[in-house]
């Protein structure tokens, strides 16, 4: 029997406005509500995942940048969220300075895996939220993760960005992290009444196959409102389409088997 390891999920897309952080936070919350111990690592200097899980910037004395630079142990940065079983390694604007200082440091992309690997494997699931870039912080997340999920707007103009991030994941897999693979595409802002939304799902099935295409997240006002209230969709409006859709995607992700899982 193989050794039990925690599942490491990265949600990434270089395109902003695709619902990446909304997806990261709500999948993490859904997995926690399903009874799993979940860790969120927020690698985006905007810290939206951190704030959406109730960790105010005024509470953040030790953030991810301190862990990456080795000045504190990873466990010292962990904060509880208001969701039972869900913890956060928070972000802050200090990550901007970290990325600037280490832009030309080829070893820096390994620090997340090196300094947080043991912590990640102490949880059943780790969810890593990334900035909308392909620089040091995003590369660090890809090097540390094992499963890549790509939220993308259900729009043809988003296809190019999706293809580029798939190519980046494959390049990282070849050169830095052989355990990494794209495990799912998550269409967001899906309008079931619009012909083009249905067409983009068919195009994704044709290009990628049925297995990689996860359930779509429908357009939903509650999903837009929840971050402003500092809530996940489950705390904000449990009866909404957004809550149902993210719960269904979380069930799909939970059912995906990674080669390293026993």
> Which pLDDT score is estimated for 230?
85
pLDDT in tens, the chain (262 residues): 345 689 999 999 988 889 999 999 999 999 999 999 999 999 999 999 999 999 988 778 899 999 999 999 999 999 999 999 999 999 999 999 999 999 999 999 999 999 999 999 999 999 999 999 889 999 999 999 999 999 999 888 888 889 999 999 999 999 999 999 999 999 999 998 888 888 989 989 988 888 899 999 999 999 999 988 889 999 999 999 999 999 999 999 999 876 665 4
Q: Domains in the chain, please, with CATH?
A: 7-255 (3.40.50.300)
pTM for this one?
Answer: 0.94
> Which pLDDT score is estimated for 197?
86
CA 190 to chain centre: 19
Alpha-helical regions (H) of 10-149:
20-33, 48-52, 64-68, 74-77, 94-101, 111-120, 136-144
Kindly state the tokens that stand for 126. Answer: 């780790």
Question: Quick check: 90 and 42 in contact, CB under 8 A?
Answer: yes
> Which pLDDT score is estimated for 4?
65
> Which pLDDT score is estimated for 257?
76
Kindly state the tokens that stand for 131. Answer: 């900035």
Pairwise CA distance, residues 207 & 150, whole Å: 15
């Amino acid at each position: 029997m193989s050794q039990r390891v925690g599942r490491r999920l990265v949600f990434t897309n270089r395109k902003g406005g695709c619902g990446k952080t909304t997806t990261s936070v709500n999948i993490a919350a859904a997995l926690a509500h399903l009874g799993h111990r979940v860790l969120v690592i927020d690698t985006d200097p905007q810290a939206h995942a951190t704030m959406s899980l109730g960790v105010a910037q005024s509470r953040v004395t030790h953030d991810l940048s301190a862990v990456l630079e080795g000045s504190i142990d990873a466990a010292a940065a962990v904060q509880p969220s208001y969701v039972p079983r869900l913890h956060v390694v928070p972000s802050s604007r200090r990550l901007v300075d970290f990325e600037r200082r280490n832009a030309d440091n080829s070893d820096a992309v390994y620090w997340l895996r090196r300094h947080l690997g043991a912590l990640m494997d102490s949880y059943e699931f780790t969810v890593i939220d990334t900035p909308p870039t392909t620089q040091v912080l995003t590369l660090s997340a890809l090097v540390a993760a094992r499963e890549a999920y790509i939220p993308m707007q259900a729009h043809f103009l988003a296809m190019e960005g999706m293809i580029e991030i798939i190519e980046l994941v494959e390049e990282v897999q070849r050169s830095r992290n052989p355990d990494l693979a794209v495990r799912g595409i998550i269409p967001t802002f899906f309008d079931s009444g619009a012909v083009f939304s249905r067409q983009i799902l068919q195009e994704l099935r044709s290009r990628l196959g049925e297995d990689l295409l996860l359930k779509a997240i429908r357009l939903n006002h509650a999903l837009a409102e929840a971050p402003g209230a500092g809530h996940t969709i489950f705390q904000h409006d449990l009866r909404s389409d957004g809550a149902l859709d993210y719960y269904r995607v979380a069930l799909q992700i939970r059912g995906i088997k990674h080669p390293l899982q026993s």
